[in-house]
């Protein structure tokens, strides 16, 4: 019986051979490492039988989808262990997630750290038992009856949401059974090592109207070394947490009186202002004009833009003079209002309009997270109004700007092209045209990209930029959205070369995404040790004794005159203590002043990360530091 391998070659097997048998026939190593099979493009369990002419590719832990199968099975291991220790626990859902898995439980007992250790111990017992993991398909009615008998109301609810004539798949391992699409590993013994990480609350189906469940997070790996490295990675991430560093470095915070509404302190405002100044400078070079639109605009505007129908649940509303208004969740309608303030000629296009606009979006309290998930933030928006024949050049121009920004901060990135979502405005023809234009620009720049089906904006497809930080984490920040729909909705026109009115095309784009979130990402990326051009304090002057205070003040004044941000520490403390404090504050340069420095009119320089640099004349130090600031190094 022929099956077709990934490379297109034909491999003959006997009738009744399973996919794990095929893997074993190809290589003992492959049989050991294979986690699932991709058969004719669909993921399948390894213990399913092969069929003639099917094309197979075996997935291992090196594949992202292989990791998902591995960790989904780990979630079932967790659920089985919890049911053994807490038989009254009700099962909700337990998917694989990036770098791990979780399972949600409805149980009266609040899970503790001690419980996690007990659950891990039970998971190890289940692993050692090496239960076969068996898929079974039931009718809709049979599945409901099974989970009603097992008193699993959440599973019953999920099944009832399926069509009545659908087949329902379940997976069994030992005494445990779960509703699941699969696929899974062949047996529980295939899981290597795992660690339960934390417990959190989670609403059923993510809705605050539903019951709060308990969610246990965990991770798993084939080898202990990989797990240990990941746990160390988590510890490093905790040390770099922007919420922790934001407080320690006195940059920003969230007050109880404003959940989700960040406060920026003086030092945080320095970093923020430097980011905004850099943004403005680069946009001026790129031919952008800056505007500022109102935070509150009428309901009529949001209905016209489509936000009222597609985004209403995330908006804040108010009444003014008995009329409905909304706090803006996006800046784009303001840019279109500006465009309509006068008649435009084709000669003016492309017209590039930029705005650092404050927007507000309603986020559930459970998902708020420092600066990363907030209820108000400043989008570094720009909207480009252009002729159809200018689309490709403008998209390329934006891509080049985004590349320049990210490389300035030391980020690498990957690109995704997101296509038409289920709920979208505009015809298929318009969407196809817009998607083709984005593809053309990406291919002209020879940028590799992945297709993200159905994740476009409701008014157009988009290119998303996922940057990678120093810990290897991915963050979606920049985006380029191509829009043929809103120029129609807002009746935007230009006078063409033949004197007729025609519709422009729009690009919506951001580089940072939001100033707040990008600042949080930067804080963690640098571990709070901002490059000198962003550092809130660039130089700290430290005195050895009180008699050196006058020279310290003189040095600080000269540095301030050169535009360098400086602080003086002339407290009556040991200089070693002051140096350690300056290092904890992550100041790029410390200047230590004692008798020798006063007598020679020099400065003793300590550089962050490298230590003592010896003594320099002040002017030479100023020249060096200004060059470093200008290079944004």
Q: Which phi and psi (to 5°) does residue 273 adopt?
A: -65, -40
Asked if 525 is an active-site residue, the reply is no
User: Contact, 299 vs 558, CB < 8 A?
Assistant: no
Asked if 508 is an active-site residue, the reply is yes
Strands (E), 484-618: 494-495, 501-502, 505-510, 539-543, 566-569, 589-593, 602-607, 611-617
CB neighbour burial string for 386-412, b if at least 16 within 10 angstroms, e if fewer: bbeebbeebbbbbbebbbebbeebebe
Of 180, 332, 376, 477, which one is the catalytic site residue?
Answer: 332
User: Contact, 615 vs 595, CB < 8 A?
Assistant: no
CA distance 468 to 490: 37
Beta-strand relationship, 501-502 and 494-495: antiparallel
- The DSSP annotation for 523-549 comes to HHHHTT---TTT-S-SEEEEESSGGGH
Which residues is 614 bridged to in the sheet? Answer: 605
Sequence-separated (6 or more) residues with CB below 8 Å from residue 374: 260, 261, 262, 363, 368, 516, 517
Asked if 361 is an active-site residue, the reply is yes
Start-to-end CA span in the chain (Å): 62
Of 84, 190, 242, 383, which one is the catalytic site residue?
Answer: 383
User: Contact, 213 vs 204, CB < 8 A?
Assistant: yes
Beta-strand relationship, 505-510 and 589-593: unpaired
H helix or E strand, kind and range, residue 467:
strand 462-468
List the alpha helices (DSSP H) in 388-427: 391-408
Beta-strand relationship, 351-360 and 289-290: parallel
Of 67, 80, 214, 379, which one is the catalytic site residue?
Answer: 379
Q: Which phi and psi (to 5°) does residue 98 adopt?
A: -55, 120
Of 115, 380, 381, 569, which one is the catalytic site residue?
Answer: 381
CA distance 96 to 102: 7
Find, among 413, 545, 428, the residue nearest to 485 by Cα.
428
CA distance 629 to 445: 31
Asked if 285 is an active-site residue, the reply is no
Of 190, 242, 361, 375, which one is the catalytic site residue?
Answer: 361
Asked if 344 is an active-site residue, the reply is no
Of 508, 509, 565, 606, which one is the catalytic site residue?
Answer: 508
Q: Where do we find the tokens 């379940």?
A: 170
Look at the alpha carbons of 382, 386, 392, 393 in this order and tell me if their dihedral is positive or negative.
negative
Find, among 388, 360, 397, the residue nearest to 375 by Cα.
360
Of 267, 328, 462, 548, which one is the catalytic site residue?
Answer: 462
The residues assigned a catalytic role are 332, 361, 379, 381, 383, 462, 508
């Amino acid at each position: 019986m022929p099956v077709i391998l990934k490379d297109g070659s034909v491999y003959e097997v006997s009738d009744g051979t399973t996919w794990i048998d095929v893997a074993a026939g190809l290589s003992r190593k492959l049989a050991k490492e294979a986690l699932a099979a991709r058969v004719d493009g669909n993921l399948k369990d390894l213990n399913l039988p092969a069929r003639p002419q099917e094309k197979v590719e075996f997935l291992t832990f090196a594949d992202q989808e292989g990791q998902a199968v591995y960790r989904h099975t780990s979630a079932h291991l967790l659920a089985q262990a919890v049911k053994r220790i807490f038989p009254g626990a009700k099962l909700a859902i337990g998917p694989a997630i990036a770098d791990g898995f979780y399972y949600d439980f409805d149980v009266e007992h609040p899970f503790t750290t001690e419980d996690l250790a007990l659950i891990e111990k039970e998971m190890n017992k289940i692993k050692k038992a090496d239960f076969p993991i068996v898929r079974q398909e039931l009718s809709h009615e049979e599945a409901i009856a099974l989970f009603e008998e097992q008193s699993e109301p959440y599973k019953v609810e999920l099944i009832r949401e399926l069509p009545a004539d659908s087949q329902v798949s379940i997976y069994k391992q030992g005494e445990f059974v779960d509703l699941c699409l699969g696929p899974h590993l062949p047996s529980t013994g295939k899981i290597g090592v795992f660690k339960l990480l934390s417990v959190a609350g989670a609403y059923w189906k993510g809705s605050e109207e539903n019951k709060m469940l308990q969610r246990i997070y965990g991770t798993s790996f084939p080898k202990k070394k990989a797990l240990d490295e990941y746990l160390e990675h988590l510890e490093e991430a905790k040390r770099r947490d922007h919420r922790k560093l934001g407080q320690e470095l006195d940059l920003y915070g969230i007050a109880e009186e404003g959940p989700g509404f960040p406060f920026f302190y003086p030092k945080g405002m320095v970093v923020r202002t430097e980011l905004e100044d850099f943004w403005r400078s680069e946009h001026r070079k790129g031919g952008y004009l800056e505007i500022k639109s109102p935070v509150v605009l009428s309901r009529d505007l949001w209905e016209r833009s489509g936000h009222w129908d597609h985004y209403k649940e995330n908006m804040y509303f108010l009444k003014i003079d008995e009329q409905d208004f909304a706090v803006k969740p996006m800046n784009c309608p303001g840019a279109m209002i500006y465009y309509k303030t006068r008649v435009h000629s084709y000669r003016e296009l492309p017209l590039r309009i930029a705005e650092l606009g404050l927007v507000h979006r309603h986020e559930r309290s459970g998902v708020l997270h420092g600066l990363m998930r907030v209820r108000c933030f400043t989008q570094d928006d720009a909207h480009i109004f252009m002729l159809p024949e200018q689309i490709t050049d403008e998209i390329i121009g934006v891509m080049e700007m985004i590349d320049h920004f990210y490389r300035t901060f030391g980020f690498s990135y990957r690109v995704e092209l997101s296509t038409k979502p289920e709920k979208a405005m505009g015809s298929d023809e318009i969407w196809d045209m817009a998607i083709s234009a984005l593809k053309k620009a990406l291919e002209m720049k020879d940028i590799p990209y992945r297709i993200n089906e159905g994740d476009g904006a409701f008014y157009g497809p988009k290119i998303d930029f996922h940057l990678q930080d120093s810990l290897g984490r991915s963050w979606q920040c920049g985006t380029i959205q191509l829009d043929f729909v809103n120029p129609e909705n807002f009746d935007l026109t230009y006078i063409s070369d033949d004197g007729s009115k025609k519709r422009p095309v729009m690009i919506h784009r951001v580089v940072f995404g939001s100033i707040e979130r990008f600042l949080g990402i930067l804080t963690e990326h640098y571990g709070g040790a901002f490059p000198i051009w962003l550092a809130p304090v660039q130089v700290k002057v430290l005195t050895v004794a009180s008699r050196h205070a006058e020279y310290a003040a003189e040095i600080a004044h000269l540095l301030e005159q050169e535009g360098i941000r400086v602080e003086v520490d002339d407290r009556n403390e040991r200089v070693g203590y002051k140096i350690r404090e300056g290092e904890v504050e992550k100041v790029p340069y410390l200047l230590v002043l004692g008798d020798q420095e006063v007598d020679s009119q020099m400065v003793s320089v300590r550089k962050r990360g490298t230590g003592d640099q010896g003594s320099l004349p002040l002017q030479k130090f100023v020249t060096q530091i200004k060059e470093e600031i200008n290079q944004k190094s």
